[in-house]
Amino acid sequence: MRLSRLWLPTTKETPADAEIVSHRLMLRAGMIRKLGAGIYSWLPLGLRVLRKVETIVRQEMDRAGAQEISMPMVIPAELWQESGRLTKYGPELLRIEDRHQRDFVLGPTHEEVVTDLIRRDLRSYKQLPVTLYQIQTKFRDEIRPRFGIMRGREFLMKDAYSFHLEADDLEREYRNMRAAYARIFERIGVEFRIVKADSGAIGGDRSEEFHVLAGSGEDVLAVSDASDYAANLEAAEAAIPAVRPSAAEALARVATPAQTTCEAVAGLLGEPLSRTVKLVVVKGREQPLAALVLRGDHEVNVVKAAKHPMVAAPLQLAGEAEIRAAFGCPPGFLGPVGACVPVIADRSAAMLADFICGANEVGFHLRGVNWGRDCTEPVVADLRNVVAGDPSPDGRGRLQLVRGIEVGHIFQNGALYTAALGVRVQDEQGGDRIPVAGCYGIGVSRIVAAAIEQRHDEAGIVWPEAIAPFSVIVCPIGAGQSTAVAEAAQNLYDELAAAGVETLLDDRGLRPGPMFADADLIGVPHRVVVGERGLAAGQFEYKRRGAGAAEMIAATAAAVREKLSA
């Protein structure tokens, strides 16, 4: 491709509303342009990268035995009614009406559609297992789209669905997909980590996420420093602490006129924050309220808490009025002693002895409190977010918190959708069975942004070879003055192109500065500079993007190709 003909609007200045590096670089490199909040056009350079990612995903899905299909984006709302997700999925689901006032949704994910597709034609167990996938534009009406393509409302996703007669066959396919995903991210050339996850709105039993590790990631991951244990913070299990020490102090009431936080109380008493306990009052599932007890230095894990049978899901905090009515005192002085709502203690809080908590009386806290002695033994559960330094749940190493960008998510849904939509299949004995299913998603467009987050420098993008928009850029210097340079560059370009190398010829006639700046910005992995000085010595200058210095090579296409394969 000749750069003079390529629609490549690069900019030196950064648009004001781009926060993270991938968004800035994608705009500056002329890869994308915004049409509205969270909706973007892909320009030629960006689309080439997107297509490369898509191709790798498609190849590996095919290799793993999945079959490509294409399902509609516009879906009759009844189907979502049938699965129960029309209301459950919430406002993120974009609803539209046709001319007959019939309701449709724009598909944010396709469990319903694919399950409907299957139920229409599935008769016999002999048709199973089957894995279908598509690569398609999805629409999710995100509350707050941000970071450009990273969290767009419209985005390209690969979604695959598998159906099985038996759970163990689902497990086999889940592993197969897991391995295919690992190959995909390896081929793309990004550093990733597989983490245990919560299955969220998709629902189901077992799920894992694939994360590209990057400081700008929106997810916090807990990873062990000594094993391969890794989990999303939402799902990371807090290790069970050692046994509870025996009580040593007597219960005492202390005046805390203005201390309404654990920090303030601990400060006043000169005790570590980890000896205090706080009460988080939430709506209960059966009872109106439930009180969660956590150590002062710990935080509630919203996902874990909402899974507890005594807690309403999704988690809702109690209002101040409800708290006053139940405890006879406002938040800030709450404690488990004499509490009249069910108490659930986090494992760490339950293992404390001689702890400090609110007295359920304005202006007073208690110290030397002990479970069993001063208040009833609580229900114990894992309720908190893990913190850096916690022991890894697998018993090996300590947890570190790192950030990641979720680029893939695999689930075993079991019979969640097949049962809801009434899918039936005959088994070997002629019995009626409900098949089980798995689903497997990859954020194709998000991978493009994630790769940039991981691979860039001050000058611009540093593409991994596998998804670079072009392989080589040829930069002639002073081609307007030197026909030798112009011809040598043109010949090199022709020979590389003829050999099937994706080559960009910068024939814009720019001065070296802007030309190199653009080459660095768009991140083409290999750069060949053709200049009069070099040609006089029979040489081109070669530089690998991201490498330190340039080197001189023989002024032939063969020498360049040798560098490409090196």
Partner RNA sequence: CGGGGUGUAGCUCAGCUUGGUAGAGCGCUUGCUUCGGGAGCAAGAGGUCGCAGGUUCAAAUCCUGUCACCCCGACCA
**The only residue of 2, 4, 5, 17 in contact with RNA, by rule CB under 7 A:** 17
Name which of residues 166 to 205 contact RNA (CB under 7 A): 200-202
CA separation for the pair 245, 370 (Å, rounded): 10
Looking up tokens 């969660």 gives 292
Q: Binding of RNA at residue 270 (CB under 7 A)?
A: no
Q: Is 266 or 530 the residue whose CB approaches RNA more closely?
A: 530
Looking up tokens 């020490």 gives 245
Q: Is 23 or 347 the residue whose CB approaches RNA more closely?
A: 23
Q: Binding of RNA at residue 504 (CB under 7 A)?
A: no
> Taking the complex as a whole, how short is the minimal distance between the CB of residue 562 and RNA, in angstroms?
19
Contacting range for RNA; rule: CB under 7 A; set: 31-39, 236-244, 246-254, 332-340? 31-39
Name which of residues 458 to 487 contact RNA (CB under 7 A): 459, 477-478, 480-481
Name which of residues 435 to 454 contact RNA (CB under 7 A): 441-443, 445-446
> Taking the complex as a whole, how short is the minimal distance between the CB of residue 254 and RNA, in angstroms?
32
**The only residue of 416, 521, 555, 557 in contact with RNA, by rule CB under 7 A:** 521
Sequence-separated (6 or more) residues with CB below 8 Å from residue 276: 262, 265, 266, 295, 296, 297, 355, 356, 357
Q: DSSP H helical segments within 328-412, as ranges?
A: 347-350
Q: Binding of RNA at residue 431 (CB under 7 A)?
A: no
Q: Binding of RNA at residue 512 (CB under 7 A)?
A: yes
CA separation for the pair 18, 27 (Å, rounded): 8
Name which of residues 46 to 85 contact RNA (CB under 7 A): none
Q: Roughly what angle, to the nearest 10 degrees, separates helices 167-188 and 44-63?
A: 140
Name which of residues 82 to 111 contact RNA (CB under 7 A): 90, 92, 109
Q: Is 259 or 539 the residue whose CB approaches RNA more closely?
A: 539
Q: Binding of RNA at residue 218 (CB under 7 A)?
A: yes
CA separation for the pair 112, 7 (Å, rounded): 40
CA separation for the pair 115, 119 (Å, rounded): 6
Contacting range for RNA; rule: CB under 7 A; set: 56-64, 150-158, 341-349, 465-473? 150-158
Within 10 A of 135 (CB to CB), how many other CB atoms are there?
19
Q: Binding of RNA at residue 548 (CB under 7 A)?
A: no
Each as own residue / partner, the long-range contacts of residues 198-203 (CB below 8 Å, 24 or more positions apart, any chain) are 198/232, 198/234, 198/235, 198/303, 199/411, 199/413, 201/85, 201/88, 201/89, 202/109, 202/111, 202/409, 202/411, 202/413, 202/439, 203/411, 203/413, 203/416
Q: Binding of RNA at residue 140 (CB under 7 A)?
A: yes
Count, residues in the chain: 566
> Taking the complex as a whole, how short is the minimal distance between the CB of residue 524 and RNA, in angstroms?
12
Helix (H) or strand (E) holding 147: none
Q: Is 143 or 321 the residue whose CB approaches RNA more closely?
A: 143
Name which of residues 302 to 321 contact RNA (CB under 7 A): 302-303, 314
Q: Is 200 or 338 the residue whose CB approaches RNA more closely?
A: 200
Q: Binders of RNA: how many residues, by CB under 7 A?
A: 71
Q: Roughly what angle, to the nearest 10 degrees, separates helices 21-28 and 444-454?
A: 100
**The only residue of 71, 82, 119, 142 in contact with RNA, by rule CB under 7 A:** 142
Q: Binding of RNA at residue 354 (CB under 7 A)?
A: no
Contacting range for RNA; rule: CB under 7 A; set: 33-41, 113-121, 169-177, 415-423? 33-41
Burial of 527 (0-12, 13-18, 19+ CB in 10 A): buried
Please check whether residue 443 is in contact with residue 175, taking contact to mean a CB–CB distance below 8 angstroms.
no
Q: Binding of RNA at residue 219 (CB under 7 A)?
A: yes
| Nearest Cα to Cα of residue 561 among 499, 507, 516 | 499
**The only residue of 58, 151, 164, 455 in contact with RNA, by rule CB under 7 A:** 151
Q: Is 413 or 418 the residue whose CB approaches RNA more closely?
A: 413
Contacting range for RNA; rule: CB under 7 A; set: 46-54, 144-152, 414-422, 461-469? 144-152
3-state secondary structure of 451: helix
Q: Is the peptide bond before 314 cis (omega within 30 degrees of 0)?
A: yes
> Taking the complex as a whole, how short is the minimal distance between the CB of residue 73 and RNA, in angstroms?
15
Q: Binding of RNA at residue 516 (CB under 7 A)?
A: yes
> Taking the complex as a whole, how short is the minimal distance between the CB of residue 234 and RNA, in angstroms?
8
Burial of 87 (0-12, 13-18, 19+ CB in 10 A): exposed
